[in-house]
Amino acid sequence: MSKSSRWDSTENESKHLPIYRHKAKLVQAVEGSTFLVVTGETGSGKTTQLPQYLHQAGMCRNGKIGITQPRRVAAITVAQRVAQEMQCTLGREVGYQVRFDDCTSQDTVVKYMTDGCLLREILADPVLSQYSVVILDEVHERSLNTDILLGLLKKMFSDPAKSTKGRSFPLKVVVMSATLETDKLSAFLGGCPVFAIPGRTFPVTCTFGTAVGPKDVESTGYVKEVVRMALDVHTSELAGDILVFLTGQSEIERACDLLFEKAESIDYRYDVQDQTVEGLLILPLYGSMPTDQQRQIFQPPPSRIRKCVVATNIAATSLTINGIKYIIDSGFVKQLNHNSRVGMDILEVVPISKSEAEQRAGRAGRTSAGKCFRIYTKEFWEKSMPEYTVPEIQRTSLTAVVLTLKCLGVHDVIRFPYLDCPEERFLLEALKQLYQFDAIDRRGKVTQLGELMVEFPLQPGLTRAVLKGSSLGCQDLLLPLAAMLSVENIFIRPGNPEKQKEADKKHRALATKSGGMNDFATLLSVFQLCKSSDRPSAWCKDNWIHWRALKSAFSVETQLREILLRLQQKRDFPVETFDGNKSELFRRCLCTGYFTNVARRSVGKVFCTMDGNGSMVNIHPSSSLFDQEADLNWVIFHDVLVTSRVYIRTVCPIRYEWVKDLLPKLHEVDVYELSSVARQEVTDEEMIKWETREAAKRQPEVSTEDIVKKLEKRNNETSVSDARARYLQRKQQRQQSKAL
């Protein structure tokens, strides 16, 4: 195809997009106001067209147009598409930037990027002086980084002196979202105009089931029901592919086995109404699946065969499968939620929100009208499913976010303009952790260490261990380890029991090879063994290791190494010496980052955490320390898993002396003391007033009594009441001594 004909075809295509008729008015709207909310369903063309319109209107004269996406693939594929439409080489006028992949140049004026990338840019250039327009896309997904960007951009303009300082031309901000909650967005941005673009999707009829009601939230009986319904659709509905939503790998494998078993016994001569369907092709789909296997999903099925994809939430936003006409929705999802009791993020199965259910249904209406079968009852919909998914910022650990904000000069992180405020205790917990890691001081100011820490794309504790390693000259141990701990799980554990045994055996052998008794050392050893192997991918396959995860660990390690080198050139790093063996050196470094995760043997095999909560935890059976008796009184651990019990995973033994001096820091401050640092002072009345205000925003009918009850319950749950009592007692003592 010649260049001009390709241009013609894409240009013609883009003229048929719903957005095209609004071109002039849209450009006018962007020019006419600082903030603009643009709404439109999938298929309206806003992501690809709006930047081009603004470019044509000459809005790149002074600076770039930056468009953020919550996901890497989206940023890359959209940039490719737009470069093609604008007839330019990708990386010149149109480019993209994601982690590990910067495809931009001096000429780039339309830049697609992940929201995390723009946040990094703000750290280096707080007024975004290179941009004339910033477009936040997919805001309705409410990703953590997008939410932070929203607040930062709002804040930039609430202080005019600051927003223009360092800028020679005005900045325009466009916020793009699906039609949900646009009034809220507009109100948040000072009542800015809203521009609505009609979408281009097909109707999807939804039906409710009879099997899963509000009482079944805890059970996993829905797998069977999902299978039954998929077969029902297969034997009674016209041609068209099926997409089933479940929560995780093991469920998907189970469902596929069941489906396969049942589909085999269908007599297609009599049972299937539409005689053009004569078979069922069952395809699992989840994130940790090998990429080439994932690709099979996109191939059209053989003629007369119906495709049935059984997927996790990956199929809700990240991947689009053509030809889907039927959705089977289990109504559940796995979600990472912050748990105050263990002070960590924990993965759990929860009911999806109504808006999420609608998004799942919408996957059936992309090319023609579709049907969505929900296995849960109308009652479940009404009683157990929330209206909207709780945004990430209200669900996850905020430690890294708070450090980023502090480094951006946002001292009062509680009064930062959040679209939805995180719970105050989550913010206080983050402050407490940063204080414990010496990233901020008692007054909440970022320390020199904190300024170094913010540069690393790692959890703060891990960064601290890396920095300790660097000052002790053993970064070659800590950098690979940090990389291994920040990529997805690397150990493959298949569903088939035979193969499971084989995999477990290989993994145990790897642990023994690294000296045993230390799961951190095993990870390091896997990294080193694979890296030095002649055929790393074959090595992985042989040892039941995810090659893709290891490859990304290699890239992360390189990136971390570069950051460390850059910082070492810029600043003076402390140099320490240590005489002792390598294993002790390694573990001592780990202790500086994991002293918040110390546990001590309590009774039998049960350990007790030292973080003030004193939770009882067990060593997970996958650990090389499971079943080890000797000399195991103190351990540190990387993460917590809550299933039948509370398990700690990735564990290694330490000596009490190594953390003795660090542990007091865990009890030095309590959240209430920190809250008086973060804001002026908090009294009971204020706390109740504040809670009432927050609750009123969400649910107007909630009374103050409810809040008091809720506070009491929460205090009991998190043993905050004890901390508060201690704090009040100390405060009283201070006042008394002052009076004397």
Partner DNA sequence: TCAGTGCTG
Residue 332 CA neighbour count, 13 Å, CB half: 26
Residue span binding DNA (CB under 7 A) among the ranges 174-182, 352-360, 483-491, 697-705:
483-491
In angstroms, the CA 241 to CA 329 distance is 14
Nearer to DNA, 37 or 462 (CB): 462
Nearer to DNA, 53 or 286 (CB): 286
CB 151 within 8 A of CB 417: yes
Q: Does 286 sit near DNA (CB under 7 A)?
A: yes
Side chain identity at residue 251, one-letter code? E
In angstroms, the CA 113 to CA 99 distance is 9
CB 313 within 8 A of CB 333: yes
In angstroms, the CA 50 to CA 177 distance is 13
Q: Does 321 sit near DNA (CB under 7 A)?
A: no
Q: Does 392 sit near DNA (CB under 7 A)?
A: yes
Strands 101-103 and 94-98: what pairing?
antiparallel
Q: Does 93 sit near DNA (CB under 7 A)?
A: no
Residue span binding DNA (CB under 7 A) among the ranges 219-227, 382-390, 474-482, 618-626:
618-626
Q: Does 117 sit near DNA (CB under 7 A)?
A: yes
At 230 the three-state DSSP class reads: helix
Task: Single out the residue of 182, 335, 359, 389 in contact with DNA (rule: CB under 7 A).
Answer: 335
Residues 6 or more apart whose Cβ sits within 8 Å of residue 706: 695
Q: Does 457 sit near DNA (CB under 7 A)?
A: yes
Strands 172-177 and 35-39: what pairing?
parallel
In angstroms, the CA 172 to CA 183 distance is 19
Nearer to DNA, 335 or 384 (CB): 335
Task: Single out the residue of 98, 467, 550, 560 in contact with DNA (rule: CB under 7 A).
Answer: 98
Task: Single out the residue of 180, 211, 314, 702 in contact with DNA (rule: CB under 7 A).
Answer: 314
CB 441 within 8 A of CB 688: no
CB 196 within 8 A of CB 39: yes
Shortest gap between Cβ of 332 and DNA (angstroms)?
A: 10
Residue 327 CA neighbour count, 13 Å, CB half: 31
Q: Does 73 sit near DNA (CB under 7 A)?
A: yes
For 130-177, give the secondary structure using H, E and C.
CEEEEEECCHHHCCHHHHHHHHHHHHHHHCHHHHHCCCCCCCEEEEEE
Task: Single out the residue of 77, 296, 318, 568 in contact with DNA (rule: CB under 7 A).
Answer: 318
Shortest gap between Cβ of 495 and DNA (angstroms)?
A: 8
What track of x and - describes contact with DNA for positions 245 through 264 (by CB under 7 A)?
--xxxx--------------
In angstroms, the CA 346 to CA 334 distance is 10
Q: Does 386 sit near DNA (CB under 7 A)?
A: no
What track of x and - describes contact with DNA for positions 542 through 581 (by CB under 7 A)?
----------------------------------------
Q: Does 288 sit near DNA (CB under 7 A)?
A: yes
Tokens 């140049």 label which residue? Answer: 105
CB 226 within 8 A of CB 216: no
Q: Does 238 sit near DNA (CB under 7 A)?
A: no
Nearer to DNA, 108 or 313 (CB): 313
Looking only at residues 396 through 435 of this chain, which bind DNA when binding is defined by CB under 7 A?
Answer: 400, 404
Residue span binding DNA (CB under 7 A) among the ranges 220-228, 274-282, 436-444, 450-458:
450-458
Residue numbers at the binding site for DNA (CB under 7 A): 70-73, 98-100, 114, 116-117, 119-120, 143, 145, 247-250, 286-288, 312-314, 318, 333-336, 347, 392, 400, 404, 454, 456-459, 486, 489, 491-493, 504, 620-622, 641, 643-645, 647
